[in-house]
Amino acid sequence: MLAIDLKGKRALVAGVADDAGFGFAIAKALAEADASIVLGTWPPAMNIFETLLRRGKIDESRKLSDGRMLEFEKIYPLDAAFDTMADVPEEIRNNKRYTERGDFSVQGMADSIRKDFGDKAIDVVVHSLANGPEVKKPLLETSRSGYLAAVSVSAYSLVSLLQRLGPLMRPGSSAISLTYMASERVVPGYGGGMSSAKAALESDTRLLAYEAGRKLGIRVNTISAGPLASRAASAIGLIEKMVAYYKEHSPLAQELAAEEVGNVAAFLCSPLASGITGATVYVDKGYHSMGIPALPG
Ligand SMILES: NC(=O)c1ccc[n+]([C@@H]2O[C@H](COP(=O)([O-])OP(=O)(O)OC[C@H]3O[C@@H](n4cnc5c(N)ncnc54)[C@H](O)[C@@H]3O)[C@@H](O)[C@H]2O)c1
């Protein structure tokens, strides 16, 4: 039997703060394949997430197919906008949702992982985070700072993660991120520089695959996912319409399930995908291949 077996492997999933998004679904699929999971969670969302976990509010979603529960070895605070604590502005450093968390920079998380698990601690890095403060604004009305913030958190953060976690990754490791087709086609409403950030993320995936492949033997891929009503996507405002539109016009006329993205992520991070790197893999029920909307009937 050809199976995805990640026993003995550890995955860091950055960008999980509830059970509704792609990061959670990917963590769950990796755990189904027997990987152990550590998370990187945005400090402002951490209290709510810890409360959900403590009160058992997401126990149902944490159930794995063999009866085990999805467990997290550690949940690290991570604000992917900051490479080191020296980059953190005063008002964030003094914000009460951050002060109690210690070092929440990318470097801080890498240092904590090394301290907790040793020098070669990680086999899988999942980048499942994005933020564009002006995402609701058309690009034509987006400020320079809004645009740069979107690219910083949503694209450069992958570079930063690999720079700092690469040395901790075992040979044969891989990284994946989540992108969206607005990088290459016009999706009205996906503004604020978020489309630019996704274009950068996809381009960086290719160059990082080359550089990290040669230097560290690591594979780097990105999944271009169809719409999902996650917390982040709901903030954009259009998500219900997008989900319905994709369902109506995709080759597979169904809603995309987060689990389908999780399964592809588990495959891409497994030895079964040892020949795939630098790729943008569409998991969108085929929507990306359409030229005009589906014809009625
Ligand atoms: N939902 C969709 O329709 C869709 C489609 C294609 C791609 N994606 C991508 O999937 C990825 C995951 O998003 P999702 O839709 O599953 O939503 P989500 O809300 O589950 O995940 C986004 C996560 O990013 C975290 N985050 C925001 N700013 C951060 C920062 N500065 N540092 C660290 N973490 C930060 C949030 O706390 C959240 O946990 C994103 O890259 C998103 O662009 C989503």
Residue written as token pair 């690999």: 162
pTM score, whole prediction: 0.98
Nearest atom of ligand 1 to the alpha carbon of 242: 3
What pLDDT, on the 0 to 100 scale, is given for residue 10?
98
Cα(156)–Cα(222) distance, integer angstroms: 14
What pLDDT, on the 0 to 100 scale, is given for residue 212?
97
Residues 6+ apart with CB under 8 A from 111: 103
What pLDDT, on the 0 to 100 scale, is given for residue 238?
85
Q: Is 78 in the pocket of ligand 1 (CB under 6 A)?
A: yes
What pLDDT, on the 0 to 100 scale, is given for residue 223?
99
Is residue 71 classed exposed, middle or buried when 0-12, 13-18 and 19+ CB atoms within 10 A define those classes? exposed
Least Cα distance to 70 among 58, 57, 82 occurs for 58
User: How many angstroms is it from 63 CA to the middle of ligand 1?
Assistant: 22
Is residue 16 classed exposed, middle or buried when 0-12, 13-18 and 19+ CB atoms within 10 A define those classes? buried
Residue 272 per-residue DSSP state: G
Cα(183)–Cα(132) distance, integer angstroms: 14
What pLDDT, on the 0 to 100 scale, is given for residue 235?
80
What pLDDT, on the 0 to 100 scale, is given for residue 62?
98
Cα(222)–Cα(206) distance, integer angstroms: 9
AA letter at 245: Y
- Cα–Cα–Cα angle for 127, 159, 272, nearest 5°? 55
Cα(181)–Cα(101) distance, integer angstroms: 35
**Residue 30 CB neighbour total at 10 angstroms:** 27
Q: Is 262 in the pocket of ligand 1 (CB under 6 A)?
A: no
User: How many angstroms is it from 230 CA to the middle of ligand 1?
Assistant: 8
What pLDDT, on the 0 to 100 scale, is given for residue 237?
77
What does the block give as tokens for 274? 């040892």
What pLDDT, on the 0 to 100 scale, is given for residue 297?
72
Least Cα distance to 190 among 137, 149, 140, 151 occurs for 137
Which domains are seen in the chain, by residue range?
10-285 (3.40.50.720)
Residues noted as catalytic: 180, 190
- pLDDT by residue for the chain (297 residues), tens only, comes to 899 999 999 999 999 999 999 999 999 999 999 999 999 999 999 999 999 999 999 999 999 999 999 999 999 999 999 999 999 999 999 999 999 999 999 999 999 999 999 999 999 999 999 999 999 999 999 999 999 999 999 999 999 999 999 999 999 999 999 999 999 999 999 999 999 999 999 999 999 999 999 999 999 999 999 999 999 898 877 899 999 999 999 999 999 999 999 999 999 999 999 999 999 999 999 999 999 999 987
**Residue 216 CB neighbour total at 10 angstroms:** 15
Q: Is 42 in the pocket of ligand 1 (CB under 6 A)?
A: yes
Secondary structure of 52-118 as H, E, C letters: HHHCCCCHHHHECCCCCECCCCEEEECCCCCCCHHHCCHHHHCCHHHHCCCCCCHHHHHHHHHHHHC
In DSSP notation, 123-180 reads EEEEE-----TTTTS-GGG--HHHHHHHHIIIIIHHHHHHHHHGGGEEEEEEEEEEE-
Cα(200)–Cα(206) distance, integer angstroms: 10
